[in-house]
Chain A
Amino acid sequence: MFIRVNPWPKPLMLELRQITKRFGDVLANDHVDIVVKPGTIHAIVGENGAGKSTAMRIAYGFYTADSGEIVVDGQVRDIKSPHDAIALGIGMVHQHFMLVETMTVAENIVLGAEPGTEFALDLKSAGAQIRQLSEEFKLAVNPNEPIEHLSVGQQQRVELLKALYRHARLLILDEPTAVLTPLEVEEFFVILRRMREQGKTVIIITHKLSEVLAISDEVTVMRDGKVVGRVQTKDTNAAELARLMVGREVLLRVEKSDPEVGKAQLELKNLSVTDLFGAKRVNDVTFEVRSGEIVGIAGVEGNGQTELMEAIAGLVDPARITGVMNFEGRDLTTLGARVRRELRIAHIPEDRHRRGLLLDFTLAENSILGVHYRPPIAALAGGVFIDENAVQRRASEIIENFDVRPRNAALPARALSGGNQQKLIIGREYRVEPKLLLVSQPTRGVDIGAIEFIHRQLVGLRDAGCAILLVSAELEEVTSLSDRLLIIHDGRIAGEVDPKVATLEEIGLLMTRGH
């Protein structure tokens, strides 16, 4: 055994040395070196598929590396399973929580490490221990509450407690803020800082640059399976990180001129939408969208945004809608989705797998959804047969203009990455030259480079005179794109703010409290 000279007075918490991992043809990790100092918050950033989660799963024993070594506390370790990792003081919280809904907080925390003897479960001593931990780290949860009664933010605390209960000194958090509201994110950061004060080490995997800058001490940037940058957070900025992640200059701010607003295209008056069980999901909503402007709707997901958009798109049974819904002065309520599309109302849905795409259909077939029944697509033999040439032309035009990759119209939509699927949908909807565009979560799960592109396209469409109604859970996105911003809470419009002057705190408060 050789002795390695460590430039740090304390041994490093975790070191990945030349880790390589291959999945089939894909090189997920290519000689990855990551160095994490104890008592720090270390961010690992990169686009989807950059290999950041893979590297961390190797550290946690989920995967075994093809080559390379893992060093914990200065010693080379063979981590074959999460069990080994836990024994070394490494804990991991996954993006999707692994909690048993019907069991209590305490039961979930001890699951797999049950206190007591073989035959008797000693939940009492566990409860005391959990209370002590939540005191120490300010992780307020009631140990006796069943998981299903907890909010997402609280469930995340349970996951953290679970790791701490197993004496984790290093916590790996995979996209921890993806599920949190802006206020919850703030609270979560307080918890992370508290952990650092108590001597814990935290690795946070993310692609949100603002959060990296707000919370981390050091950053490792990955791209295409390789480490492309290691920086101190205090010495860097969002533009540099984005450039490292994408490999080229990225415009983070949306550049747009003042809107040239025309006449009202969409008018909603006292619109309400009930769900199948009779509950009002959209409640007495009144606003209008004029041509040439982007009206944003900010809100915590599940506050009626989906129902509002689907009602306007014609995907909700008219019997469940009350109030006025006019487009260019014409009553929309009783018109089917097809007629609304013919009026040039386009829709980029929030769930591209469920609504936006026929995953088993080819890109070519997907590119004609919505116009498949009329010329120039259905043009042969009196408009019955689909003109294969016209389909191919339309598909390659969309693929070309919207940079959908791979550029093969014969592939099933399923084979594309999320970002490329989204570009295909956007291209298809743009192709009808909409007068009103309904767009929900346009950049969810989409890489930074593609986000920039999608944002530019939206602004371009606005400048061409289209009225755009935008729903997004990303506050930054919705504030930077919108010309006017409405905040929705519990199905009601809780307020309207000027996105140029409103602060995120102000908007966040309206989103959660509704006034």
Chain B
Amino acid sequence: MNKLARDLLFPIIAVVAAFIVGAILILLVGDNPITAYRLLLGSALSWPDGIGYVLFYATPLIFTGLAVLVGFRCGLFNIGAEGQLYIAAFATAWVGIKFANLSPWLLIPFCCAAAILAGAVWGGIPGVLKAKFGSHEVINTIMLNFIAIMIASYFTQYHYKVGGDPILESAPIGEGAHIPHLGKFIPGFPERIPLNVAFILALLCCLLVYLFLWRTKWGYEIRATGSNPFAAEYGGISIRKQIILAMAVSGGLAGMVGINEVLGNRHRYYDGFSDNFGFTGIAVALLGRNHPVGVILAALLFAALQHGGIYVDGFSQNVTKDIVQVLQGIIILFVAAEGFFKWLLRRASMERLRA
């Protein structure tokens, strides 16, 4: 088996197995799995709405999947993408409100820089804590999630809300900070679909992350640290620096969700806008085998499920869109059980030898 086939095999097994288990569950609640799955996946392929929304939903997942991937490659588990993207989205909106009158040529880069920087700082904090004091990044990133979400809520509520607005959201950002929907450039693709330039940015980031990790000396050092910190240290690599760098890059990538959300979609900070993008990013990175191309594929799958969930809710009798959560959970279980599958395969091949 060549490497590519092997890399694809286990994610595919995981997804297929999850759908089989899901089908059993759907049968148990008294619906037809084929009908349910047709609703779930069929809607995702319809033009232009299905495809447009799936790509729109996939955008934040690509960013967070890449964020988690960079952490993993350095041996770090960044569970804080959720907090990083909230603080970044808030920072983006803040710049977009404060400097609303700047020309788009300045304002859009400023807002993007704010998103990346805020995410990088928020991700960098647990990196510094780990490098300096050895405190575990899992604990610190989880706790920083709450802090980030609460800080953004507080400032929105008490400083940046438009008086009388019943919804917890900030004032709108300046028009100059809006980035166009892709409908503007694609004939026959309606502009009302919120798929925007941030999606192109997400694809570009996949390429950049690939080049960064596998073609630059910094990426080499991050991967060496993740692969074997003792050997990295032996090779003259400062492990502390790599931890801080990887967490900051990871946070910056998560922060770019703010560009999609604030500049491309709602044009304001909207409290609780993230549909667990940060946590789903972990699943995306795992299913994508910590490779940028895998992240794109996994993000598309999860986005399709998320989109289809709405149709399942609306058109089937007993199954609700919770089936999406169930499927996601089972996929992760099976991906995590890769070691178990490998063991089964090995045993099967041993038995074939014996026979």
Q: Which residues of chain A have a CB within 8 Å of any CB of chain B?
A: 22, 24, 313-315, 336-341, 347, 349, 354-361, 365, 368-370, 372-373, 377-378, 383-386, 388
Apart from A370-B236, A386-B215, what are 16 other A-B pairs with CB-CB below 8 Å?
A: A336-B236, A337-B235, A339-B236, A354-B228, A354-B231, A357-B228, A357-B231, A359-B228, A361-B223, A372-B220, A372-B221, A372-B235, A373-B221, A378-B216, A385-B215, A385-B216
Contacting pair B217 A355 (CB below 8 A): no
> Which B-chain residue is minimally distant from A359 (CB atoms)?
B228
What CA separation (Å) do A358 and B223 show in the bound complex? 10
Known: A384-B216, A384-B218. A370 touches B235 (CB 8 A): yes
Chain B residues near A378: list those with CB within 8 A: 216-217
Q: Which residues of A contact B228 (CB under 8 A)?
A: 354, 357-360
Complex contact B224–A337 (CB within 8 A): no
| B221:A355 contact, CB within 8 angstroms | no
Are B227 and A359 in contact, with the CB atoms below 8 A?
yes
- Chain A residues near B221 (CB-CB < 8 A): 372-373
Whether A369 contacts B231 in the complex (CB less than 8 A), given A24-B353, A341-B236, A358-B224, comes out as yes
Contact partner of B220 among A341, A347, A355, A365, CB < 8 A?
Answer: A365
Does chain A have a CB within 8 A of B238?
yes
* Chain B interface mostly: helix
B353 neighbours in A (Cβ, 8 Å): 22, 24
Which residues 220-255 in B have Cβ within 8 Å of A in the complex? 220-221, 223-224, 227-228, 230-238
> Would you give the shortest CB distance from A425 to chain B, in whole angstroms?
10
Docked complex Cα distance between A358 and B232 (Å): 8
Q: Which 7 A-B pairs give the minimum distances between C-beta atoms?
A: A338-B236, A369-B235, A378-B217, A370-B235, A337-B236, A373-B217, A358-B227
CA distance A368 to B224 in the complex (A): 11
A-B residue pairs in contact (CB < 8 Å), sample of 5: A340-B236, A358-B228, A358-B231, A383-B217, A385-B211
Docked CA distance A314–B218 (Å)? 21
In the complex, per-residue mask of B337-351: 1 if CB is within 8 Å of any chain A CB, else 0:
000000000000100
Give chain A nearest CB distance to B36 CB in angstroms: 41
Cα of A21 to Cα of B235 in the assembled complex, Å: 41
Given A24-B353, A372-B220, A384-B218, does the pair A315, B233 have CB atoms closer than 8 Å? yes
Measured between beta carbons, the chain B residues less than 8 angstroms from A22 are 353
A24-B353, A372-B221 known; A355-B216 Cβ under 8 A: no
Closest chain B residue, CB of each to CB of A351: B230
Complex interface: chain A residues within 8 A of B238 (CB): 336, 338
Known: A365-B220, A384-B218, A385-B216. A356 touches B234 (CB 8 A): yes
Taking CB atoms, residues of chain A closer than 8 Å to B223 are: 361
B108-148 contact mask (Cβ, 8 Å, vs A): 1 or 0 = 00000000000000000000000000000000000000000
Contact residues in B for A339 (Cβ distance below 8 Å): 236
Q: Which chain B residues border A384 with CB–CB below 8 Å?
A: 216-218
Q: How far is the CB of B81 from chain A (nearest CB, A)?
A: 25
Is the pair B217, A372 in contact by a Cβ cutoff of 8 Å?
yes
Assess whether A361 is in contact with B215, with CB atoms less than 8 Å apart.
Answer: no
Distance, CA A370 to CA B217, complexed state (A): 11
CA A373 to CA B233, docked complex, whole Å = 14
Q: Which residues of chain B have C-beta atoms less than 8 A from A314's C-beta?
A: 236
Whether A386 and B216, one on each chain, are in contact in the complex, defined by CB atoms closer than 8 angstroms, is: yes
- B227: chain A residues at CB < 8 Å are 358-361
Contacts of B231 in A (CB 8 A): 354-358, 369
Contacts of B220 in A (CB 8 A): 365, 368, 372-373, 386
Whole-angstrom distance between the alpha carbons of A383 and B215 in the complex?
11
Which residues of chain B have C-beta atoms less than 8 A from A337's C-beta? 233-236
Contact status B234-A313, CB under 8 Å: yes
Residue among B215, B230, B236, B349 making CB contact with A355, cutoff 8 Å: B230
Which B residues are in CB contact (< 8 Å) with A356?
A: 231, 234
CB distance from B340 to the nearest CB of A (A): 20
Q: In the assembled complex, how far is the CB of residue A35 from the closest CB belonging to chain B, in whole angstroms? A: 28
Instruction: Determine how close the nearest CB of chain B comes to the CB of A487; give it in whole angstroms.
Output: 27
Complex Cα–Cα for A355 and B228 (A)? 8
Identify A347's interface contact among B216, B217, B234, B237, CB under 8 A: B234
Residue picked from A336, A341, A354, A372, most chain B C-beta under 10 Å: A372
Residues in B whose Cβ lies below 8 Å from that of A313: 234
Q: How near does chain A come to B148, taking the closest CB pair, in angstroms?
A: 31
Chain B residues in 8 Å Cβ range of A360: 227-228
Cα A372 to Cα B235 in complex, Å, equals 9
Query: Are the CB atoms of A355 and B218 closer together than 8 Å?
Result: no
